[in-house]
Amino acid sequence: MKSTKAVIEMMAPKRTEGAVASLMERLLVELGEDPQREGLVRTPARSESAMRFLTSGYHMDLKRVVNGALFQVKYDEMVIVKDIEFFSLCEHHLLPFFGKMHVAYLPKDKVIGLSKIPRIVDMFARRLQVQERLTQEIAEAVQTVLEPKGVGVICEARHFCMMMRGVEKQHSGTVTSAMLGGFRHRKATRDEFLSLVSARSV
C-alpha cells in the first residue's frame, strides 16, 4: 500500500513556475476584476509565491526536518513545547486558520532538539488541512521520530471560514487533541499535561 506522500507525488502534476499565477489571473477575471489594472498587475505572481510557501509542507521530509537532532538522555519526565504559533489553510475553503500548538512527550532514553518540534508543526501546517488531522499528524510524527512512552498534542485555533463567512462568529475557537501511549492510557499524565499547558508561559 502506497504512503500518502507517495500518492500525492504520483497524482500531482509537475511543478511549473507561473502556472498558479496564470490560474489566479483567470480567477480575477471570473470574479469581475481587471488583472491589468495598476493594483493587480503583480497580484497573480505574488499569489503564486504565497501559495507555494503556504503549501511548502508537501515538499518537506520528516527525517530532513529533524536532521539528526536526537540525543541520548536519561530523563523520563514530561517535556512540553507550548504556545507554538502556526498558520494553515482550511482545505474546504482555502481560507486561513491559525492558533497555537502544545506538544508534549514522555522520553524513553532520548530527547529531540527543542527547535525541531516547531519545525514539525510547520511541516504539517503548511499544507491544505483540517484541524483534527493536523493535530493527529503532528502527534504521530513525534511518535515516529522519538518512539517515546507517549505523545500529547493540543491545538487551539480560530478559523476564517467561520469568522468571515458562514456563521460569521469572530470570537469562536476550536480545540482538538491527540493523545498517544501514556497520555491516552493514564489520566494523571493527561491531567498534568493540561495543567502545564494552562499555566502561565515562561
The CB-side HSE value for 161 (13 A sphere, CA atoms) comes to 15
Name the architecture of domain 69-198: 2-Layer Sandwich (3.30)
Boundaries of every domain in the chain: 4-54, 69-198
Considering only CA atoms, which of 105, 86, 100 is closest in space to residue 152? 105
Query: Which range among 100-104, 164-168, 172-176 shows the weakest confidence by mean pLDDT?
Result: 164-168
Query: How high is the pLDDT of residue 46?
Result: 95
Q: Which residues are catalytic?
A: 90-93, 131, 159, 161
Mapped onto helix, strand or coil, the DSSP state of residue 64 is: helix
CATH tag, 4-54: 1.10.286
pTM of the model: 0.87
Query: How high is the pLDDT of residue 11?
Result: 47
pLDDT, tens digit (0-9, with 9 covering 90-100), for 126-141: 999 999 999 999 999 9
Cell digits of residue 87? 498558520
Mapped onto helix, strand or coil, the DSSP state of residue 108 is: coil
